[in-house]
Amino acid sequence: MAKPVLINNNGLRVNPDLQKERDTGTFNIIELTNIIDGGPERTKRRHELEQLLFSDPVFTNPNRAFLSKSQLYDYGVQKSVKLFHLKRKYQWNEEDYFMAESLLRKEISLSLHHTMFIPAIERLATDEQKAKWLPLAQSFKILGTYAQTELGHGTNLLGLETTATFDQSTDEFVLRTPKITSMKWWPGGLGKSSTHAIVLAQLIIDNKSHGMHPFMVQLRSLDDHTPLPGIKVGDIGPKIAINTVDNGFLILNQVRIPRDQMLMKNAKVSRSGKFTSVGNSKANYATMMLVRVNMTNWAANILCGSVTAAMRYSCVRRQSALKPGGEEEQVINYQSQQYKLFPAVATAYALMFASQQLHDYYNQIYPQLARGSYTNLAELHSQSSALKAITGDVSVHHSEICRRACGGHGYLWYAGIGEAVSSGASIITAEGENTVLYQQTARYLMKQVALNVSGQTLDGFTSYLNNDDNYVNPIQSSEHCHDLQILNDIYQNMANRIIKKTAHRLHADMSSGLEQHIAWNKNMIQLVRSAQVHSHMSIVKAFITSVQSLVLSPVLKQVLHRLCVFYCLYGIINNSGDFIETSSINLNQLELMREEEIKLLSQIRPDAVSLVDAFDIHDETLCSVLGVYDGNVYEKLYESTQREPMNKTDVHPSYYKYIRGLLHSTPQSKL
C-alpha cells in the first residue's frame, strides 16, 4: 500500500520523486531508526528534545550564514546559556544533554565545559577535589575548559613547555609559559568564555621535572570577567569553520595557585614537596581518550548528514536522459552517482557501529581505570587513537564526494555539505593529529607482535595477530563473496600480514645496529600503513558483528547484510594492492568481487532513500536546502537568496563608488 503524500508546513507537497523513493523502500524505517538510536525510548526522547529545541527561536536562525565571527560567537553563547537553563529546568541527565548538543550540530560556544572540563575533574581529581569543584561546574558557577595544546606543541604531550614549579615556602605552584611556543593555543571556550581552565603543565620540584600533570587555574574574575593578574588570554582568530567557538590562547606569567589545585588522583605533592605517583601516569590522558571516543561519533554523524543531503537531492535532481529524447533522468539512477553515494551510506553505517562498540569498550574499561587497574589502558589508548583517526579521515573523504555529487549547488553554503566537510576536517587534527595517532597505534601493534612471537596468545582487538600465515582464500563463487565470515577473514589476513611484515622490517633494522628512533623513522610509512589497515579491519569487524548480533526483522537483516557486504567489497576493491600483496585474494577473485560489487548497486538502489531517512535527521539539524525532508529543493534554494543581505537593495553601494564611474567615463585614447 502506498504511503500517504506528506504536506509540509508551507503547504507544499513532498516532491513526487522523493515520495516515490519512500514508497518503494523494502523495510520498516522506524525499526532501523530505533536501532541507530539505541532503542525506541531513545528515539522518542530525541523527538521530544527536537520539539522543545526547534520550537524556540534561539535555536533556529536562518540568517546564520551572514553573521560575522563575533556575531557567531555571540549566537553560540546565547544557545549555550539557553541550553544550560533547559538542562537545569528539566533536570536532564548527561545523555539528554549530549543528545541536545548533537541536535544543534554542536554549534554552541561553551561545549568544552561539558565535554572536557567536567569529565577531567571526574577523572583526574581526588574525592575531596571533586567535592569542591564539581558542584561549582555542574551548577555553572564557574565555566571551564581544558588547556593542553600549546602553540609549539600539540600531539607530543611530553614536549609541553608550560611549567608548574612548586614553591614550598608558600605552599603554591607557580605557573609559567616561558616562551612564545609555550602559550596554550586552541582550547575551545578559552578565548572569551571560560573562568577556569585545567592546565596541563610540567611539574617542577627542586629543579627536577616529574612529567605532565593537570592544574586547576582560575583565569577570570567571577565578578566582572576580567583576566586575573599574570594572565593574558584571547581568541586565536577566524577558522575555516566552527567559528561559534572561541578557541583561545593563554599566557601565564608567574601565576600562583594553591598546592591543592593540582588535580591529584594519579599523583600527589605533599606540603614538604614530596612527589608520589599514585597510578599509571598515562591515566592523566583519560579525558583526552574520552574525547577521541566521542569524536568517532561526531565523524559518523557528519557523514550521515552529508549523505542524507546528497542522496535526497540526487533523487530530486533530474539531469540529461539515458535514452535519447527521453525524460530527464533522476541523477541517482546513473550508476556513476550510485558509486559515489552508496559507499558513503555503507561507510556511515560502518562508522556508527564501530563508534558504538568503541563507546561500549570505553564504558567497560573506565571503571577499571577508576579503581586503579590499568591492564587495558594501553589497548584503549591504541584503539581510541586508531578509530578517531580513521573515522575522521573517511568521514571527510566521503562527505567531500557527497558535496561533489551535488554538482554546482553543492558548493553553496546553504547546501550544508561544504560546511560539514570543513567542520569534519577539524577532527583530523584535533585531539591528536591523525598521522601521529596512527603511529601511537603502530607502537602498540609492534609490541603485540613481539608478545605473540615470544609465545603469548593475544586477545582483544589484536587477537587476529595470533593467526598463522597459512591462510587460503576459499572464494570460488558469487555466494562466497556474500559470506561475512569469509570477508572478515580476508581483512584479518591482510592486516595480520602487513603488520607482521612491518614488525619484521623494524626488528631487522634494529638488529643491524640502527638506533630505535632511526629505525622507526626509516619505517614510518609502513608503520602508519599498519595502523591504518588495523583501523580499517576494526571497522569491518564492528560492522559484521553488529549485523550478525542485532535482533532484526528478516527484511531489515537482509538489507543490512547486503550493505555490509557492499562495504567490505568496496574496501577490498579500492585497496586491492594491500590484499593482493598479502595473498589475501588473487586476481580472479578480485574480478569476481568487482562483479558482485556492481550487482549490489542495483540491489541497494530501492532502499537508498530509506537508508538515509532512517538516520531521522531533523531539517534544522541537517541544515541543508538540498536535503530537506520534503524534497522541495528549488523552492528552498530561491528562498535562501531572499535572506542574502546584498539583495535587500536593487543597487549595491559599489555601483556608486566604482561601476558608475567606469560606465560613464570618457576614454582618454583609442585602443
Q: Which residues are catalytic?
A: 431
CA distance 26 to 19: 14
Rounded distance, CA 413 to CA 625, Å?
A: 9
Residues counted in the chain: 671
Compute CA distances 47 → 11, 37, 93, 218, 342, whole Å.
22, 11, 16, 39, 27
Neighbours of 154 (CB within 10 A): 19
296 is in an annotated binding site: no
Residue 541 buriedness (CB in 10 A; 0-12 / 13-18 / 19+): buried
Q: How far apart are CA 574 and CA 566, in angstroms?
A: 12
d(CA 532, CA 438): 7
For residue 420, how many other CB atoms are within 10 A of its CB?
28
Say if CB 483 and CB 511 are below 8 A apart.
no
Burial classification of residue 615, based on how many CB atoms lie within 10 Å of its CB (0-12 exposed, 13-18 middle, 19 or more buried): buried
Backbone angles phi, psi at 69, to 5 degrees: -60, -45
Nearest to 613 by CA among 397, 391, 432, 345: 345
DSSP 75-132: HHHHHHHHHHHHHHHHT--HHHHHHHHHHTTT--TTHHIIIIIHHHHHHHS-HHHHHH
Give burial (CB, 10 Å; 0-12/13-18/19+) of 433: middle
- Name which of 117, 109, 286 is nearest 218 in CA terms: 117
* Full DSSP string of 249-263: EEEESSEEEEGGGB-
Phi, psi angle pair for 51, to nearest 5°: -60, -40
Could you write out the DSSP letters of every residue in 340-359? HHHHHHHHHHHHHHHHHHHH
Residue for grid cell 614549579: 165
d(CA 439, CA 175): 31
Q: Which residues pair with 534 in a beta bridge?
A: none
CA-CA distance, 83 to 88, in Å (whole number)? Answer: 9
Q: Is the CB of residue 230 less than 8 Å from the CB of residue 253?
A: yes
**How far apart, in whole angstroms, are the C-alpha atoms of residue 304 and residue 346?**
10
Counting Cβ atoms within 10 Å, is residue 79 exposed (0-12), middle (13-18) or buried (19+)? buried
The contacts of residue 121 (CB under 8 Å, 6+ apart) are 129, 130, 133, 134, 137, 198, 263
Say if residues 190 and 145 touch (Cβ distance below 8 Å): yes
Q: 502 among the known binding-site residues?
A: no
Which residue(s) pair with 318 in the sheet? 330
C-alpha to C-alpha distance for 574 and 390, rounded to whole angstroms:
16
Residue among 345, 443, 343, 429 at smallest CA distance from 388: 429
Beta bridge partners of residue 176, listed in sequence order: 163
Amino acid in position 56: D
Beta bridge partners of 256: 174
Count of CB atoms situated within 10 Å of the CB of 85: 11
Where is the binding site for FAD, in residues?
Answer: 149, 188
Where is the binding site, in residues?
Answer: 149, 188
